[in-house]
A and B are shown apart, each in its own frame.
Chain A
């Protein structure tokens, strides 16, 4: 088990390292010189160039520049955002909360919903219901998140007016305490629903194929031959065997959700990290964009490691090997 966990931690660490190296390479390989990329200006002033040169060691050989870059990162320095003139790390820290709220809520919801539906359909594989659910699953998989969000706004917020159109809180409400939480919850519905709808199909498919696979295994036939009831076979034996692959996949789907959340935030003006992405792109605020990229890579790597460690504990084949 130790080896398994060690390997997963290594992969996570390598992923973060890869993201860092790629960012670094981008600064140096993209058209334009690093100084203008880092400052966001086509021709930065001499003082600015000097400051950047000192900070990033721009006149040194590439490898030592990479080392400087890593050192800065280790100290939590992600550079300065051009459009906001504040440290990137600060900006991201402010917005991380809402992004996590939206992503993690969605991750858990789509896991539960997708898995439940997947199991339900697997037991009725081949039926009309199963075929219909498969179709629906593909349908939602084909929708761009931003479009679905806009359509939901159109229907529920604009036409029916039962849910807010944007933001995380009602700025005019001034709610506190419990009312504040309810307000946030009300605003969470549409963006959360959007992200959940496009993430659920993934879990649905994994759960469904996993259950179908397990039900055709030899040991299930053996248990049937003993006269054990179908419900006991399913609830105890099929379930535990089938649920394990779902856990493995959770980590990867989390990565997928973290990717999709940014665009959803833009559509709903949700005050998370994605929300200032649009402006950053327009302003060529590369330090900010790279900061987001790095933080997301780290978040995903951490989540994956946590999920894999949990998996190592619940799968006896890994725990006792």
Chain B
């Protein structure tokens, strides 16, 4: 634990990123305490500029922007993290199997990887959400099911190098089954770059979700920052605060996760560290 703290302190990106995310998590958890109004309630003051009563103004339906942003943190964090974790699990499995088993399994999986790399997955996501419904669960699932490409690549490279290591060859000699070796040795030892990459995937997932909401495909029952930006579009000149502040929160959150991911990369892999 102490080492983790000193690692975080030593790297400025990790430091800033962690602080920001910690704040965000707090906001998400304490939303009811931090919000000034009920974000769902349609108030009387429509499109009111930021002021004492409404810290960041109100939108076209009289909802308090600040409170909506606070509650929106929950949505973004939840979707971002769950989608990224799903993509992390899938990527690790597929990449690990491809890199460890090699042969035709590897060739097939790599080809699948290449296909998903090229394919415009955002449209696929769009189609699925449009056709299957835009609940939060659907959104999380489909984003997770389409963004595992980077993780798979990383894990495959790790598996390929790990399988030549002595302790793995030793396990083979002892007679451990391939499946055991994969889960006991290969994956746990190769997981580190995946963790950093998954953190960056959280950013990607949040951006994707924001884009979906902007297109009207977000979950209508929850508050999402992308949705707020979309709502603010008609009021761009008369109520600039609606889209501006909601977008800013997206930028800051995504940036914070990128910084953590980048910082993790620097700390966990010294080769990248030398690029400084």
Assess A/B contact in the complex (Cβ within 8 A): yes
A57 to B60, CA, bound (A): 48
In this complex, what residue of A is CB-closest to B132?
A30
Residues 226-240 of chain B, each 1 if its beta carbon lies under 8 Å from chain A, else 0: 100100110011001
A116 within 8 A of B: no
Q: For A296, what are the chain B residues with a Cβ–Cβ distance below 8 Å?
A: 120, 123
Q: For B118, what are the chain A residues with a Cβ–Cβ distance below 8 Å?
A: 11-12, 15, 251-252, 255, 297, 300-301, 304
B155 within 8 A of A: no
Least Cβ–Cβ distance between A239 and chain B, in angstroms: 19
B215 within 8 A of A: yes
Q: Is the CB of B131 within 8 A of A125?
A: no
Least Cβ–Cβ distance between B86 and chain A, in angstroms: 18
Question: Which of chain B's residues 98-157 have a Cβ closer than 8 Å to chain A?
Answer: 111, 114-115, 117-124, 126-128, 130-133
Q: Is the CB of A142 within 8 A of B119?
A: no
Q: Is the CB of A293 within 8 A of B127?
A: yes
With contacts A26-B128, A126-B276, A289-B127 taken as known, whether A259 is within 8 angstroms of B120 at the C-beta atoms is: yes
Q: For B203, what are the chain A residues with a Cβ–Cβ distance below 8 Å?
A: 142
Q: Which segment, of A64-72, A146-154, A175-183, A228-236, faces chain B? A: A146-154
Q: Is the CB of B119 within 8 A of A141?
A: no
With contacts A23-B127, A158-B237, A293-B124 taken as known, whether A18 is within 8 angstroms of B119 at the C-beta atoms is: yes
Q: Which segment, of B46-54, B186-194, B254-262, faces chain A? A: B254-262
Least Cβ–Cβ distance between A99 and chain B, in angstroms: 12
In this complex, what residue of B is CB-closest to A22?
B124
Q: Is the CB of A19 within 8 A of B119?
A: yes
Residues 247-276 of chain A, each 1 if its beta carbon lies under 8 Å from chain B, else 0: 000011001001100110011000000000
A284 within 8 A of B: yes
In this complex, what residue of A is CB-closest to B122?
A259
A138 within 8 A of B: yes
Q: For B211, what are the chain A residues with a Cβ–Cβ distance below 8 Å?
A: 144-146, 263
With contacts A11-B118, A144-B210, A284-B130 taken as known, whether A151 is within 8 angstroms of B244 at the C-beta atoms is: yes
Q: For B275, what are the chain A residues with a Cβ–Cβ distance below 8 Å?
A: 125, 209, 212
Q: Is the CB of A300 within 8 A of B131?
A: no
A292 within 8 A of B: yes
B: contact size bracket: 35 or more
Q: Is the CB of A281 within 8 A of B216?
A: yes
B65 within 8 A of A: no
Interface-central residue, B216, B259, B276, by most chain A CB under 10 Å: B276
With contacts A19-B119, A144-B226 taken as known, whether A263 is within 8 angstroms of B214 at the C-beta atoms is: yes
Q: For A284, what are the chain B residues with a Cβ–Cβ distance below 8 Å?
A: 130
B251: contacting residue among A143, A150, A259, CB under 8 A: A143
Question: Which of chain A's residues 276-321 have a Cβ closer than 8 Å to chain B?
Answer: 277-278, 281-282, 284, 286, 289-290, 292-293, 296-297, 300-301, 304
Q: Which residues of A contact B (CB under 8 A)?
A: 11-12, 14-15, 18-19, 22-23, 26, 30-31, 37, 125-126, 138-139, 141-148, 150-151, 153-154, 158, 209, 212, 251-252, 255, 258-259, 262-263, 266-267, 277-278, 281-282, 284, 286, 289-290, 292-293, 296-297, 300-301, 304
21 chain-A/chain-B pairs, Cβ below 8 angstroms: A22-B124, A37-B131, A125-B276, A138-B258, A142-B250, A144-B207, A144-B247, A146-B214, A148-B247, A150-B247, A151-B243, A154-B236, A255-B118, A259-B120, A262-B123, A286-B127, A293-B120, A293-B124, A293-B126, A296-B123, A300-B120
Besides the known contacts A143-B254, A297-B123, 5 further A-B residue pairs in the complex with CB atoms under 8 A apart: A11-B114, A37-B131, A125-B275, A142-B207, A286-B127
